């Protein structure tokens, strides 16, 4: 990811609300965004805000996770919803994939 | 190019060369090769992958049509004393951001997906992709600033 201004967000201080079902009966899919050296940090933050409707701080938290750790699990959803989110992220040319939650 | 936010609209004010640069960039869409896919292990059912590939292909075809319409609409650009003026809605600006990022990322892929800019070798062959990547990025940053408003 191309560095723009580093936002003042410390990874680890945001308590993430549970999203999606974690029920053992319903298989879940993880939506993952991968780092690349071409997308701007501001752009990735903006896309997360648009696609998930997140506040800027949460979007920056995940953007920094992508930047520093190479990837971020953005959400856990049903297959249909996960496909929807991956498609939305790919429309913005971000490297997004989904995989079955083990 | 100046971009000013006025309510729900974004007003662009561009010099003649900037306008021509923007239109020239848009003509490069789609830039990301259709066959390009992230080469990482995925545990995705074939049906899901096919669905995603089809949805993306449809989206790209729709975007290409929209760009043609955008370029064929001269009334969108109004010549003023200060330059060329045109306005975009919030949704149109989001769309333009996606288009410009496709051009930026596609140009980077054409350059061999280098990890760092200094690893890119600028020469006659790579210059068009380098130019497109940098110009699309500069416009994106201006648009993101306007969105922050």
Question: In this predicted model, what pLDDT tens digit does every residue of A44-94 receive, in sequence order?
Answer: 999 999 999 999 999 999 999 999 999 999 999 999 999 999 999 999 999
Residue B79 bridge partners (DSSP): B84
Q: Crossing angle, helix A79-91 and helix B46-71, to 10 degrees? A: 30
Residue A23: is the preceding peptide bond cis (ω within 30°)? no
| B98: nearest CB among A79, A92, A97 | A92
Query: Which residues of chain A are within 8 Å of residue B56 when distances are taken between CB atoms?
Result: 87, 90-91
As given in the structure block, the two tokens for residue B75 are 């009334």
CA distance A55 to B141: 20
Q: Is residue A4 domain-resident?
A: no
Q: Domain map of chain B by residue range?
A: 2-34+64-148
Rg (CA), chain B: 17
Per the structure, how many domains does chain A have? 1
Q: Is residue A23 domain-resident?
A: no
Residue numbers of the domain that contains A91: 29-68+79-97
Residues 6+ away with beta carbon under 8 Å from B114: A37, B108, B120
Q: Is residue A44 domain-resident?
A: yes
Q: Is residue A54 domain-resident?
A: yes
When the pLDDT of each residue in chain A is averaged and rounded to a whole number, the result is 86
Give pLDDT, residue A21: 46
Q: Is residue A34 domain-resident?
A: yes
Distance from the Cα of B147 to chain A's closest Cα (Å) equals 9
How do the pLDDT tens digits run along chain B, 149 residues long?
899 888 889 999 999 999 999 999 999 999 998 777 654 445 566 777 788 888 889 999 999 999 999 888 888 899 999 899 999 999 999 999 999 999 999 999 999 999 877 777 889 999 999 999 999 999 999 999 988 87
Residue pair A92/A46 in contact by the 8 Å Cβ criterion: no
Query: Is the predicted pLDDT of residue A12 greater than 50, yes or no?
Result: yes
Classified as helix, coil or strand, B90 is helix
> What is the domain-level CATH number for residue A89?
3.30.1390.10
Query: Is the predicted pLDDT of residue A15 greater than 60, yes or no?
Result: no
Residue pair A31/A85 in contact by the 8 Å Cβ criterion: yes
Q: Crossing angle, helix B16-26 and helix B127-148, to 10 degrees? A: 110
Give pLDDT, residue B35: 72
B interface with A, Cβ–Cβ < 8 A, is 32, 38, 40, 42-45, 48, 51-52, 55-56, 59, 94, 97-98, 101-102, 104-105, 108, 113-116, 133, 137, 140-141, 144, 147
Query: Is the predicted pLDDT of residue A22 greater than 60, yes or no?
Result: no
CA distance B53 to B57: 6
């Amino acid at each position: 990811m191309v560095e723009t201004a580093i936002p003042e967000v410390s990874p680890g201080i945001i308590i993430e609300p549970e999203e999606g079902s974690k029920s053992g009966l319903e298989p879940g899919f993880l939506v993952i965004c991968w780092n690349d050296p071409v997308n701007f940090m501001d752009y990735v933050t903006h896309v997360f805000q648009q696609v998930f409707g997140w506040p800027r701080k949460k979007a920056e938290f995940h953007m920094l996770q992508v930047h520093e750790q190479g990837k971020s699990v953005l959400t856990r959803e049903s297959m249909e919803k996960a496909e929807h989110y991956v498609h939305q992220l790919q429309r913005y040319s971000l490297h997004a994939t989904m995989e079955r939650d083990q | 190019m100046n971009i000013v936010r006025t309510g729900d609209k974004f007003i662009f004010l561009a010099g003649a060369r900037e306008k021509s640069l923007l239109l020239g960039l848009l003509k490069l869409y789609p830039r990301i090769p259709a066959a390009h896919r992230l080469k990482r292990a995925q545990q995705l059912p074939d049906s899901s992958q096919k669905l995603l590939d089809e949805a993306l292909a449809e989206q790209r075809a729709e975007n290409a049509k929209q760009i043609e319409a955008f370029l064929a609409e001269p009334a969108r650009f109004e010549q003023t004393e200060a330059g060329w003026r045109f306005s975009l809605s919030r949704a149109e600006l989001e769309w333009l951001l996606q288009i410009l990022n496709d051009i930026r990322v596609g140009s980077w892929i054409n350059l061999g997906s280098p990890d760092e800019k200094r690893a890119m070798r600028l020469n006659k062959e790579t210059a068009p992709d380098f130019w497109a990547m940098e110009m699309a990025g500069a416009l994106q940053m201006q648009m993101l600033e306007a969105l922050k408003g």
